[in-house]
Chains A and B, each alone.
Chain A
Amino acid sequence: KNQVEQSPQSLIILEGKNCTLQCNYTVSPFSNLRWYKQDTGRGPVSLTIMTFSENTKSNGRYTATLDADTKQSSLHITASQLSDSASYICVVSRHNTNAGKSTFGDGTTLTVKP
């Protein structure tokens, strides 16, 4: 069964600190992995997209890594800000399928405190 597992389920950090969120998947054959940020009461917004050949991609203070061999990805947030408080969702798509067949993780809820 194609699955995406995210950890931790929730995380609280102090403003200015770094953190790393994890995503493990069993989706096969792999096409791409995306990280979304979902603010409370809003729809998800894409942060990064990585394909099989990419092992790291950055978007400002967000850096995603991908190890396609171990089927693991991480999202590292540097120098956290209060506005980083949100749910972060890992989404994995299978090769040669419509995006409607993407598998979503349950998300990690990040709270950044002053």
Chain B
Amino acid sequence: NAGVTQTPKFQVLKTGQSMTLQCAQDMNHNSMYWYRQDPGMGLRLIYYSASEGTTDKGEVPNGYNVSRLNKREFSLRLESAAPSQTSVYFCASSEAGRPYNEQFFGPGTRLTVL
């Protein structure tokens, strides 16, 4: 099992460009999440999907959109990138009832917006 995979690993964008971060999990989990992590700060939730077909805003959703494509895949889109969105983005998944919603994280995508 690969667990949670993310693509790309690194990306550099210019202000105003758009891009989609991809995430997939092979653990048959219902719930998936997108976080951002800025230097010296904790993980902040952008959006999450409790189950296929549903998405909800987290703590910092502005400037992002998400799509739960199917049970395995959850993508994060930046429509018009801004320097403030320079960060490391982590995708995670969990299964309700499995050790109290333990989240499994991907390796992250390092995004720089110039």
- Which A residues are within 8 Å of any B CB, using their own CB? 4, 31-32, 34, 41-46, 49, 51, 89, 93, 98-100, 102, 104-107
Contacts and interface: CB of A to CB of B under 8 A. Distances in A.
Contacts of B101: 32, 93, 98-99, 102
A23 to B, nearest CB: 12
B50 A98 contact: yes
B108 A104 contact: no
Contact of A43 (B4, B41, B100): B4
Nearest to A45: B105
Interface of B: 4, 31, 33, 40-45, 48, 50, 56, 58, 90, 92, 94, 96, 99-108
A4 B106 CA distance: 23
A34 B42 contact: no
B108 A43 contact: yes
A42 B43 CA distance: 13
B48 A106 contact: no
Contact of B100 (A4, A45, A51, A100): A51
A99 B42 contact: no
Contact of A44 (B41, B44, B50, B105): B105
Nearest to B57: A100
A43 B50 contact: no
A49 B94 CA distance: 14
Closest 10 CB pairs of A and B: A43-B105, A99-B101, A100-B48, A106-B42, A104-B42, A32-B100, A104-B43, A99-B94, A98-B50, A44-B105
A32 B58 CA distance: 19
Contacts of A46: 99, 102-104
B100 A31 contact: yes
Contacts of B58: 100
A105 B41 CA distance: 8
A24 to B, nearest CB: 14
